[in-house]
Amino acid sequence: MCGIVAYIGKKDAYPILINGLKRLEYRGYDSAGVALLNDKNELNVYKTKGKVSDLEAFTKAKDISGHIGIAHTRWATHGEPNDINAHPHLSRSGNIALIHNGIIENYLTIRKELENRGYEFKSSTDTEVLVNLIEDVQLTQKVDLFEATRIALNHVNGAYAIALIEKGHPDTLIAARKGSPMVVGIGKNEFFIASDATPIVGLTSKVVYIENEEVMKVKLGEDLKLKTIDDVEITPYIQKLQLNLESIEKGGFDHFMLKEIYEQPTTVRDTMRGRLHADLGTVTLGGIFDYEKKILNARNIIIVACGTSWHAGLVGSYLIELYSGIRVKVEYASEFRYRNPVIFPDDVVIAISQSGETADTLAAIEIAKEKGATVLGICNVIGSSISRVTDAGVYTHAGPEIGVASTKAFTAQVAVLTMFAIRLAELTGYIPKSKIMELIHELDLIPEKIKTTLERSKDITKEIAMQMKDVHNALYLGRLQNFPVALEGALKLKEISYIHAEGYPAAEMKHGPIALIDKDMPVIFIATNKSTYEKVVSNVQEVKARQGKIISVVTEGDVLVKEMSDYVIEIPDTECTYAPLLATIPLQLLAYYIAVYRGCNVDQPRNLAKSVTVE
């Protein structure tokens, strides 16, 4: 996922741009670059493969002056990671510099047309094609950069968040977006542009979220100008920034991921605040209140998401069906969007996304809307694309999640889905009111039980991690709502320690995976279910009989599974459907410590991005 940062104002642009890129490093990238227009009207571009620190080393003793600039971290989509393909890219004349996050799907066609007119390209990127298309429009139609950008983007298919600067115009910054995120910070006669709010935190608290297919002109001394690519003037909607500085720093932890794991008692409490009323014995989800009738009368409820958010959706589906008798289908957004799904106008689709920018999930939403369905969102980023294209939704108040591996967002999503399931139980009367009261009171205790789980898990997960750090495979097994926990535990291990791991329904073991069991295969059981406990005990026995290494997450007081396990992590007793909110915690810590012991880059794992806004 690329990151973009731009600045125009009275201060030196370079330090603001570099710090902004560092705030965006969590998105994952392979090269970085900056373009600055100095007071002598020189447009200096510095870019290099590698990290932002490599860019800083590269710009030592170079002219980094200027009060206007653009900067970029690239996650290669077109062309390998190298200095040539890194952004910013210059137009043929050298007068315009552009940075871009997204994919121009028809760039080869445009490149061919420009080559037929004598253009030559240095890189293999779609971005270099775009900056030359814009200059070509400017020259042939004799218009300024703002108008040339608008016209050019009418010929472009795909996703973009772009910022441009031009020689001879030190007071003007142009930007535009479609499909890729962008936020504009408004300071005192200075402006900031970034892929998300993290580079802007602490610099201003006034922001404007640019909508799809909008082009913006920032000119010092003038108000921000905004229009659609169809040339319709837009009044910018200025909002208050929801983040603060300490919320994106590490707070004394070694990694953002560990900080975010330990934030979960607070973030789950914050997510339930104002929604779970234990004193009144009820739940209110204001964001979707007006849609409750539609939900109750829905022909189908379909959850679409990716990765960890999909796992949260799977947990939610178990609870919704158990508490309300309403059937729920959970789909990978990436599959849903391409298989021409059967969707009816009276369907309700629920999109779950931490970032609110995942391309596959956004595409799934578009398809559901085209087919007339009502689309609700569960997002963690206020003002994100998904939160703006859905009919309504519920924010998870987990705060910015910087670590690429999602942790606190997962438990916040499950908390929202649990409240949603309880609300549906109230509306349908499917389960007794006494049971609903029990569920509400127990849910209110969960933040404290997460805290206890963290305390109980810390040392034992370190000990297990030391034993597991050199394994090559791992199997995670759970039943019912602990099956998605098995999937989530396996994903955590895979994505930050690079150890192959699989999550499976425990009962499925006998249909194949049991062939994998030997003394070198660690098997992690999530064995907290009361209703299927005896079955899980048999599964543990089957693994034991084949010398498998057994690690079990059990409910405190467990005896049988504990006896057979090599390692046991005990979580507090709770309503069995709430186990995912607790059992996931030790699995997050286990993956974290294994990754640390393996020397992996925990917050920015290789090949991964925090928000997958490309397909």
What are the backbone angles phi and psi of residue 579, rounded to the nearest 5°? Answer: -50, -40
Q: Cβ contacts of residue 506 below 8 Å, gap of 6+?
A: 477, 478, 479, 483, 486, 525, 535, 536, 539
Residue 411 binds ligand AGP, judged by CB under 6 A: no
Which of 424, 240, 163 is closest to 319 using CA atoms?
Answer: 424
Q: Across the strands, what pairs with 191?
A: 8, 186
What are the backbone angles phi and psi of residue 153, rounded to the nearest 5°? Answer: -70, -15
Q: With H, G, I as helix, E, B as strand and everything else as coil, classify residue 312.
A: helix
Residue 264 binds ligand AGP, judged by CB under 6 A: no
Which lies closer to ligand AGP via its Cβ, residue 186 or residue 501?
Answer: 501
The one among 86, 175, 365, 404 contacting ligand AGP by CB under 6 A: 404
* DSSP 8-state secondary structure symbol assigned to residue 371: T
Any catalytic annotation for residue 2?
yes
Residue 361 binds ligand AGP, judged by CB under 6 A: yes
Least distance between ligand AGP and beta carbon 320 (Å): 19
The one among 149, 406, 482, 528 contacting ligand AGP by CB under 6 A: 406
- The DSSP bridge pattern shows strands 31-37 and 68-74 to be antiparallel
Which lies closer to ligand AGP via its Cβ, residue 358 or residue 539?
Answer: 358
Which lies closer to ligand AGP via its Cβ, residue 71 or residue 583?
Answer: 583
CA distance 325 to 55: 57
User: Which residues inside 148-167 make contact with ligand AGP, applying CB under 6 A?
Assistant: none
Residue 354 binds ligand AGP, judged by CB under 6 A: yes
Q: Which residue's CB atom is positioned nearest to ligand AGP?
A: 307
CA atoms within 13 A on the CB side of 259: 19
**Are the C-beta atoms of 30 and 607 separated by less than 8 Å?**
no
CA distance 555 to 281: 26
Which lies closer to ligand AGP via its Cβ, residue 55 or residue 304?
Answer: 304
CA distance 562 to 568: 6
CA distance 227 to 217: 9
- The DSSP bridge pattern shows strands 282-283 and 225-228 to be unpaired
Residue 405 binds ligand AGP, judged by CB under 6 A: yes
Residue 612 binds ligand AGP, judged by CB under 6 A: yes
Residue 138 binds ligand AGP, judged by CB under 6 A: no
Task: Choose the stretch contacting ligand AGP; rule: CB under 6 A; options: 8-16, 74-82, 119-127, 303-311.
Answer: 303-311
User: How would you classify residue 294: left for phi > 0, otherwise alpha for psi between -120 and 50, otherwise beta?
Assistant: alpha
Please identify which of the residues 47, 178, 451, 610 carries the catalytic annotation. Answer: 610
Please identify which of the residues 2, 306, 379, 600 carries the catalytic annotation. Answer: 2
Integer Rg of the chain from CA: 26
The one among 307, 313, 478, 580 contacting ligand AGP by CB under 6 A: 307
Which lies closer to ligand AGP via its Cβ, residue 125 or residue 308?
Answer: 308
Residue 355 binds ligand AGP, judged by CB under 6 A: yes
Any catalytic annotation for residue 610?
yes
Residue 44 binds ligand AGP, judged by CB under 6 A: no
Residue 306 binds ligand AGP, judged by CB under 6 A: yes
Least distance between ligand AGP and beta carbon 537 (Å): 31
Return the active site residues.
Answer: 2, 610
Q: Which residues form the interface with ligand AGP (CB under 6 A)?
A: 306-309, 353-355, 358, 361, 404-406, 491, 495, 611-612
